[in-house]
Copies of this chain bind each other. A is one copy, B any other.
Amino acid sequence: MSMTEEEKTRYELQSYMFKALAHPVRIQLLDRLKTRSWCVCELAVEVGIDKSVASKHLSQLKEAGLIDDEKRGTQVEYRLVAPCVLELANCAVGMVLENRKRKLGLA
């Protein structure tokens, strides 16, 4: 309604970012990248999915600016760009759990 183009863009950018985080596999990938760089094949095995699927998830995380990649021979190493995101994720799970506790307490 009374929404400027700039506001609209901002809402879309923000949701785009969160969309990248809105999948358990992508969270798990970020969690693995917390300690060191991993190549796609390693991550695929670790998470238990096809390499093509892993590649697509990683691509989405990269588009959102959360990770970055670097070619090393035949393999591509991905690394975490914004480690703060994971603390953010932990904060998130804390919030959900607290909410559930609260609900159970009332009900």
Contact = CB atoms under 8 A, between A and B. Distances in A.
B96 A64 contact: yes
A14 B27 contact: yes
Contact of A95 (B25, B66, B91, B93): B66
B21 A15 contact: yes
Contacts of A52: none
B66 A17 contact: no
Contacts of A28: 3, 7, 11
A10 to B, nearest CB: 6
Given A3-B28, A45-B1, A47-B1, A65 B15 contact: no
Nearest to A19: B22
Interface of A: 1-3, 7-8, 10-19, 21-28, 31, 45-48, 64-66, 81-82, 84, 88-93, 95-100
